[in-house]
Amino acid sequence: MKKLQQLHFGKRYTKLPEHFYSKIRPTPLPAPYLVAFNRDAAGLIDLHEEEALRDDFAEHFSGNRLPPHAEPLAMLYAGHQFGHFVPQLGDGRAILLGELDNQAGERWEIQLKGSGVTPYSRRGDGRAVLRSCIREYLCSEAMHHLGVPSSRALCIIGSDEPVYRESAETAAVLTRLSPSHVRFGSFEVFFYRGQFDHIRVLADFVIDHHYPEYAKAENKYKLFLGEVTRRTAQLMAHWQAVGFCHGVMNTDNMSILGLTLDYGPYGFMETFDPGHICNHSDPQGRYAYDQQPQVGLWNLSCLAYAMSKLVSETDADTILASYAPHYYEQYVALMGAKLGLFKPGTEDLPLIYSWLELLQQNQLDYSNSFRMLGEFDAHEGALNQKLRDHFADRASFDAWAKAYRMRLLQDQQDDGQRKQHMDAHNPKYILRNYLAQHAIELAETERDYSEIANLLEILRRPFDEQVGMERYAEPAPLSARHLLVSCSS
Ligand code: AMP
Ligand code: MG
């Protein structure tokens, strides 16, 4: 494990042509202090957790003190925002410090989010508010521990510097880690500009560093696009399975590695509603829960279009046509496991869908209902009274339970085994908005950061029972059901 000064930042992105980024130093953050520190993420960069206790830790991760020889930069990209192409975006408030290698042979890019204006800030102030840093910090870790590919979060550094959104808030800097921060929009920007050579350079860069198995293949761009397609399809299936809504699935927020990236007005679904919209700034529901899988494909078609000088139209069509099979394969595997099916297949889709319909009709909590179903008694004649009582419409439950029992009989697992399997796929603890909001309010009003640490600790083990923490598994109280989150962050 290393001390801070032993971290040696690489600078591979600076080897790319200068049109790909702007070198920029973070804007100093006045009187920074540590708000949250995640030892799991410190482990990813071999950083000794006691380094967080240093007096100068906040100086380093606020961007006030740069690592020696670092050449921080903001990355250029474009993107389709809510369906409309915006020719130039870029990191308007994030700065890449460089990348770090760990003992396990992984390489992590380290980005400071909220570290001041860059040439891509447009009219923004380059800052992130404490509220949004806490939300990204908690959710990216929660997703990772749920088994969903995601960027990670190392720490939050706060400051009393005021930042104005709908009202006055305070600034913070989030340090996030990802193997890459390249987005679909990183390719789109050069297509729009007609700089087709740059698209090839960027594709080669991403392939060499992240898809090295294709580097020597003759049809490497096709293989690369195919793999991004497969990963994105799988990611969408993961989001559906955990009930996650991203909220702003613009192509500038789509990771070239198929990771969840750029947490804004996201939300975990509570009461099951396929049309659920988590982002108050998306009244049309373009990015509603049930739209996400097809938006994933739409976004990939934007990427394929941007890569059209590298991958023929016929090949791109074939690749895009592989999206649905990849998606359904992963969806059935994940949802089947949630229902405790031993070897689920597409023939199980009607059972999965009818269960979801039951949840919708009875207005039940998505995650808790799956967890509860682990108690199902498959013996002949069992009434499953306790479970049944959760459904306002008992008859519809009985009908579904009959079909479910028939399906379970095929697997010949005993109830105990099945419950264990289901508990490992149905989280007891998810990051409900009201839980995050409570941690935020304590932080904002009392400078009490203990609830952030407490939540992180719970979300690190979402599938465990965790005695004494049961109240964190409760759906939002009525008073917090209509908590609104918007793009403002
Ligand atoms: P988002 O939807 O949050 O991913 O942001 C879209 C674009 O706006 C990205 O290019 C961001 O870097 C930029 N952006 C968002 N908030 C700010 C801000 N406060 N200051 C500067 N740029 C911002
Ligand atoms: Mg973004």
Mean pLDDT on 121-133: 97
With bands split at pLDDT 50, 70 and 90, how would you rate the model's confidence at 481? confident
Pocket (CB within 6 angstroms of ligand 1)? 89-93, 120-121, 124-127, 248, 253, 262, 264, 489
The count of other CB atoms within 10 Å of the CB of residue 393 is 11
* Residue 121 within any structural domain of the chain: yes
Per the confidence metrics, is the pTM higher than 0.75?
yes
With bands split at pLDDT 50, 70 and 90, how would you rate the model's confidence at 291? very high
**Three-point CA angle 440, 441, 444, nearest 5°:** 85
By the CB criterion, residues less than 5 angstroms from ion ligand 2 are 253, 262
- pLDDT for 478: 86
- Residues with active-site annotation: 252
- pLDDT for 487: 84
Closest CA to 151 of 178, 117, 116: 178
- pLDDT for 254: 98
Q: Specify the number of domains making up the chain.
A: 2
153 sits in the region (left: phi over 0; alpha: psi -120 to 50; else beta) called: beta
* Residue 273 within any structural domain of the chain: no
Mean pLDDT on 449-460: 98
179 neighbors 106 (Cβ within 8 angstroms)? yes
* Residue 161 within any structural domain of the chain: yes
The best mutation among 89, 96, 151 to test binding of ligand 1, ranked by most ligand atoms within 8 Å of the C-beta, falls on 89
Domain boundary among 182, 211, 230: 182
Q: Is the pLDDT of residue 55 over 90?
A: yes
- pLDDT for 413: 87
The best mutation among 86, 120, 174 to test binding of ligand 1, ranked by most ligand atoms within 8 Å of the C-beta, falls on 120
* Residue 32 within any structural domain of the chain: yes
- pLDDT for 339: 98
Q: Is the pLDDT of residue 480 over 90?
A: no
Q: What is d(CA 114, CA 128) in angstroms, rounded to the nearest whole number?
A: 4
In the chain, pLDDT over 90 holds for what percent of residues?
97
* Residue 290 within any structural domain of the chain: no
Token digits for 390? 């959760």
Q: Which domain holds residue 43?
A: 4-182
* Residue 109 within any structural domain of the chain: yes
Domain boundary among 162, 182, 202: 182
Q: Is the pLDDT of residue 416 over 90?
A: yes
With bands split at pLDDT 50, 70 and 90, how would you rate the model's confidence at 151? very high
* Residue 141 within any structural domain of the chain: yes
- How many angstroms is it from 462 CA to the middle of ligand 1? 31
Closest CA to 171 of 136, 118, 111, 126: 126
- How many angstroms is it from 113 CA to the middle of ligand 1? 10
Could you give the C-alpha distances from 264 to 249, 280, 442, 447, in angstroms and in order? 10, 11, 20, 22
* Residue 211 within any structural domain of the chain: no
Q: Is the pLDDT of residue 230 over 90?
A: yes
- How many angstroms is it from 287 CA to the middle of ligand 2? 15
Domain boundary among 166, 182, 198: 182
pLDDT tens, position by position, 418-434: 999 999 999 999 999 99
- pLDDT for 477: 92
